[in-house]
């Protein structure tokens, strides 16, 4: 009698089940990595924007040119498509590069299917009488999804950086504590 080689149906089903479980673990980890990468992109662009603010300060002695949005009443820049949101209000020596970075930051805050709505990015003066202080607030899509509520990156002129849940914006780097 000829002996047959091969796998039984049960053995094949066990292998398929194991492969299915491993792929679900990999896909879950991949989604987490994507969200962290989106937050890293926001942080990188915010740091770059802060760098242009510092360059402007070293050239002119003031941050006022780059943070022209503060003259609009500290408005948030929405990032939603069709919102008309642009970064063209930035002026000064480094305005073109700052505008490009600002646009990239708005795009990063909308990545991975998240929506910051009308609160994507904000340049915030702590006091109009002190043009040498500012805060940058940028929406973090990954941290927001993980927390189940909006979270913003705060970077201040004093060098402080933190993640905020919003009002009263007292965390390091935020409006009340730049």
User: Which residue carries 């992109």 as its tokens?
Assistant: 41
Which residue stretches of the chain have pLDDT < 70?
1-2, 64-86, 111-115, 117-118, 125-131
**pLDDT tens for each residue of 65-84:** 665 544 434 556 655 544 55
CA distance linking residue 47 with residue 45, whole number of Å: 5
**pLDDT tens for each residue of 116-144:** 766 777 777 655 556 677 788 888 888 88
pLDDT value of position 22: 92
Domain boundaries, the chain: 38-164
- Predicted TM-score (pTM) of the model is 0.74
Please answer whether residues 39 and 143 qualify as being in contact, where contact means their C-beta atoms are separated by less than 8 angstroms. yes
In 2-130, DSSP assigns E strands to 121-124
């Amino acid at each position: 009698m000829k002996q047959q080689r091969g796998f039984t149906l049960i053995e094949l089903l066990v292998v398929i089940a194991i492969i299915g479980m491993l792929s679900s673990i990999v896909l879950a980890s991949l989604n987490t990595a994507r969200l962290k990468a989106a937050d890293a992109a926001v942080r990188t662009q915010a740091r770059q924007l802060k760098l242009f603010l510092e360059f402007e300060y070293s050239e002119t002695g003031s941050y006022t040119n780059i943070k022209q949005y503060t003259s609009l009443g500290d408005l948030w820049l929405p990032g939603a498509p069709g919102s008309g949101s642009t970064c063209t209000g930035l002026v000064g020596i480094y305005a073109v590069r700052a505008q490009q970075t600002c646009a990239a930051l708005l795009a990063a805050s909308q990545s991975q299917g998240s929506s910051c709505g009308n609160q994507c990015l904000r340049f915030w003066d702590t006091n109009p009488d002190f043009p040498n202080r500012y805060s940058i607030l940028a929406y973090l899509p990954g941290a927001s999804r993980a927390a189940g509520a909006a979270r913003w990156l705060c970077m201040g002129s004093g060098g402080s950086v933190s993640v905020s849940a919003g009002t009263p914006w007292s965390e390091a780097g935020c409006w009340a504590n730049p």
